[in-house]
Amino acid sequence: MQDRGWWLGAALSGAVVVMAGAFGAHALEGQLAPRLAAAFETGVRYQAWHTLALLAVLAWRATRPLAGQRLAMGLWAAGMGLFSGSLYAMALTGLGGLGMITPLGGVLLIAGWLALASAVLRAG
């Protein structure tokens, strides 16, 4: 199967999204300051959307592989790790300094979208 590792990664990311969402909604309910709870929820939301985007690009690659699709997926994977991961860690530890990592993840997520746009433009 082409892109087996990417499919596995997307599936695991989807599982993490559901677990993190349930953890945030149930175990953390009332345990976090509203600002930290909102940060945790933002991490879950961005990871969920980018996991769906990974799945969409993987399905697209199965019929029309383009140069740049893997770059976009790699940027999204790294961006999810830094963006969502830093928000999860910040919310759970209360260490505000971790929030300095979040914008780096955001830049990688944006770069992934721009890499995908570039791949489409180059393909004609």
Token output for 73: 């997926």
Choose among 34, 52, 32: nearest CA to 92: 32
pTM for this prediction: 0.95
What is residue 11's three-state secondary structure?
helix
CA dihedral 57, 60, 66, 69 (to 10 degrees): 0
| Number of Cβ atoms within 10 Å of the Cβ of 83 | 25
Predicted confidence band of residue 1 (pLDDT cuts 50, 70, 90) = confident
Strands (E) located in 13-66: none
Token output for 27: 């175990």
34-83: per-residue pLDDT in tens? 999 999 999 999 999 999 999 999 999 999 999 999 999 999 999 999 99
